[in-house]
Chains A and B, each alone.
Chain A
């Protein structure tokens, strides 16, 4: 059974940094692209970015709203994906979800979701 568990959410001041983790199990983690999606309180879903598997270059893509501030990485030996968030803004306050596509190895889809972790940016 595919499981994704996010951790690391916290209350943080504007301008500070935070790193989220997504621990995966139940599948061959290294074979799949992994994505992050967020949802601000009372708002809709917003795609944050994704990291390709090493077979597809291990490269990353980001939404314009986080490009240059957020970095996604992965440790295939530990089956963990990370979201490093720098220069946090109040508008980054959201539940952050880790996701994986339902069947495609390369697609930044969201067939499987974690339970989410809350990041609150406030002074």
Chain B
């Protein structure tokens, strides 16, 4: 199972919106609504930000939203804040009952 494809880096200014893409195949992202997004700050464990494509766990800001179209899922962060600077990963359940992660995207808040 190949890793999902994410851009290596994205950046934005405070207050702006950014979108991170996550491209898979019909064996994972395209066929299952079990796509999740994680935020990881340096030295910390990842934190779930979005589950099942577009659902936010309790306690996660509504500035974070998720969507999916075909084999590509997306994470949008609106009203960028300095604290949003982190690494972001997507994951998807797959047709072989496994999980695949994306390579990660480093978000820089300018």
Q: How far is the CA of A49 from the CA of B94 in the complex (A)?
A: 13
Are A45 and B46 neighbours in the complex by a CB distance under 8 Å? yes
B interface vs A, CB < 8 Å? 1, 3, 34, 36, 38, 40, 45-48, 51, 57, 87, 89, 91, 93, 96-104
Task: Tell whether A44 is near chain B: CB-to-CB under 8 Å.
Answer: yes
Q: How far is the CB of A35 from chain B (nearest CB, A)?
A: 7
Contacting residues, chain A, for B36 (C-beta < 8 A): 109-111
Residues of B within 8 A of A115 (CB): 45
- Residue of A44, A102, A107 near B89 (CB, 8 A) is A44
- A45–B46 Cα distance when bound, in Å, is 9
What's the minimum C-beta distance from B68 to chain A, rounded to whole angstroms? 16
Taking a contact as CB atoms under 8 Å apart, the answer to whether A46 and B101 are in contact is yes
Q: Which residues of B contact A49 (CB under 8 A)?
A: 98
Q: Is the beta-carbon distance between A63 and B34 smaller than 8 angstroms? A: no
> Could you tell me if A108 and B89 are in contact, using CB atoms closer than 8 angstroms?
no
Count class of interface residues, chain A? 20 to 34
CB atoms of B34 and A109 under 8 A apart: yes
Evaluate contact between B45 and A45: CB separation under 8 angstroms: no
Distance of A61 Cα from B34 Cα, bound (Å) = 17
Name A80-123 residues within 8 Å CB distance of B.
Answer: 97, 101-103, 107-116
Per-residue CB contact flags for chain A residues 45-63 toward chain B (1 = under 8 Å, else 0) read: 1110110000000000111
Q: Which listed residue, A47, A107, A109, A110, touches B100 by the CB 8 Å rule? A: A47
A47 touches B101 (CB 8 A): yes
Cβ B104 vs Cβ A45 within 8 A: yes
Task: List the A residue with the shortest CB-CB distance to B3.
Answer: A44
Which A residues are CB-close (under 8 A) to B98? 47, 49, 61-63, 108
Name the CB-closest residue of A to B101. Answer: A45
Complex Cα–Cα for A64 and B96 (A): 11
From known contacts A45-B89, A107-B34, infer whether A113 and B99 are also in contact, taking CB-CB under 8 Å: no
A123 → B minimal CB distance (Å): 27
Asked if A108 and B93 make an inter-chain contact with CB atoms under 8 angstroms apart, the answer reads yes
Q: A37-B101, A44-B101, A109-B51 known; 19 other A-B pairs, CB under 8 Å?
A: A44-B87, A44-B103, A44-B104, A45-B46, A45-B91, A45-B101, A47-B99, A47-B100, A49-B98, A97-B45, A103-B51, A109-B91, A109-B93, A110-B91, A110-B99, A111-B36, A111-B48, A112-B48, A113-B45
